[in-house]
Amino acid sequence: MKAHQKMLVGIIFGTLSGLIAHAVAGDSAWLTWVVTNLTQPAGRIFIRLLLMLVVPLLFAALVIGVCELDVRQIGRLGLKTIGYTVVFSSIAVLLGLVLVNTLQPGAGISEETRNAAKSNSSALKAAPTPGSTSPAALIVNMVPDNPIRTAADGDMIGLIVFSLVFGAGLALTQTPAALRLREMVQGLYDVMMRLIDGVLRLAPYGVAALLFSVMAQLGVEVLRQILSYVAVVLLALGLHMFGVYSLSVRFLGGRNPIAFFRDIRLAMATAFATASSSATLPTALKVAEENLRLPRHVSRFVLTAGAAMNQNGTALFEGVTVLFLAQVYGVPLSLSQQAIIMFICVLAGIGTAGVPAGSLPVILMILGLFNIPPEGIGLILGVDRFLDMCRTTLNVTGDLAAALYVARGEPADDVPPEDAPEPSAS
């Protein structure tokens, strides 16, 4: 069986067996024993395996992502790409947070059911929170005084800032030793991705255990919340793609949005099928050069960097998911805390791997940061594959919209000699 087929089997088995156990046994002692001693520990091991890789993966991905920009050499292309990424990622996350606060997809669970779910949840050790929520205090606390202690304490904001600064310094240092260090960081990233791939091979079993535990505690009541959550994510993705990006294409790219979506439909279909921005990159490059007629040096730079950094759909998804699970478990989040979540999602979008399920470690990290039970991730794993396909489509569309904006004003023949197209064999 293929990986997604195994995952589907785990989802179905965990969900149905949990619902049946809840209907038959309810709050019986034997079901509580099974959940407490068998399925929850198995699910928690799966979560901890993912969390174990968060710090090195986030550090390596952010450093490599910044190094690949090479702003000093690229100049205006790099600055325009970074600016576009930050602005539109912020819009995406803000749109998601507004919708999830307005529609409340995780609300409506009875207090009795919610307490039953929380009673058997072991929240992760939360990162230290700033003593003051004033803008000045938040900015000061973003800068770590000891990055090693910051990582050990789980202060991911400080780790993200340090990684960005370290990556910028590494990109600007072109000594032989610095280049070797860059290769080492790339090697660390490669190892982390291989380990995550190995952990995800256990996903069908971990997902089945998590879903059994959640469904045995919550019963069929939680299914309505899951469907509402899916609807909110799809609504947010659709508004950002056909609303925000249409405006971007029209006013920043100077193109007709209808023609734009028609020209990139092959890249959108590939992104939906593969659920991977990295796997869609060759198709996106072909579409940008042949259909959109963008300069090759612009499309190659923006799309290559965007596959690793411009993850608008992923950032939106992470923000919505965290707030949804906070609503399910009754964890109140203030506006300042939601602002921190938005900030983390925007910056983590730079370091989120452009592969299927690449956002799960980041979501787990944010859940731990705000004392939201990490076991709740089991609720969304059952629908994550479909949502991953949808948000990857948004990611790739955003990369092409960004390339359109960056290419505007660039001369069509502004191609370095070494990048000039080779003569056709025909």
Residues whose CB is less than 8 angstroms from the CB of residue 134 and which lie 6 or more positions away in sequence, other chains included = none
The answer to whether 352 and 61 are in contact (CB under 8 A) is: yes
- Mean pLDDT, consecutive 10-residue stretches, the chain (426 aa), reads 73 85 80 84 81 79 72 65 88 94 84 58 46 60 82 73 86 91 91 82 82 77 83 95 96 94 91 77 87 85 73 88 90 87 78 56 80 79 80 92 87 48 39
At residue 210, the pLDDT reads 79
Residue 418 lies in a domain: no
109, containing H or E segment:
none
At residue 414, the pLDDT reads 44
Residues whose CB is less than 8 angstroms from the CB of residue 245 and which lie 6 or more positions away in sequence, other chains included = 257, 397, 398, 401
Residue 422 lies in a domain: no
At residue 38, the pLDDT reads 87
Residue 419 lies in a domain: no
The model's pTM is 0.71
Residue 353 lies in a domain: yes
Q: What is the dihedral of CA 374, 376, 377, 379, to 10 degrees?
A: 170
Q: At residue 341, what is the residue type?
A: I
Domain span at 325: 3-413
| Positive or negative: CA dihedral 150, 154, 155, 156 | positive
At residue 421, the pLDDT reads 45
> What CATH number has the domain bearing residue 326?
1.10.3860
Residue 209 lies in a domain: yes
At residue 99, the pLDDT reads 95
- Euclidean distance between CA atoms 405 and 382, whole angstroms: 36
Residue 423 lies in a domain: no
Residue 268 lies in a domain: yes
Residue 424 lies in a domain: no
* C-alpha dist (Å) from residue 332 to 2, 31, 277, 326, 372: 40, 30, 34, 7, 10
At residue 74, the pLDDT reads 56
Give the total number of structural domains in the chain: 1
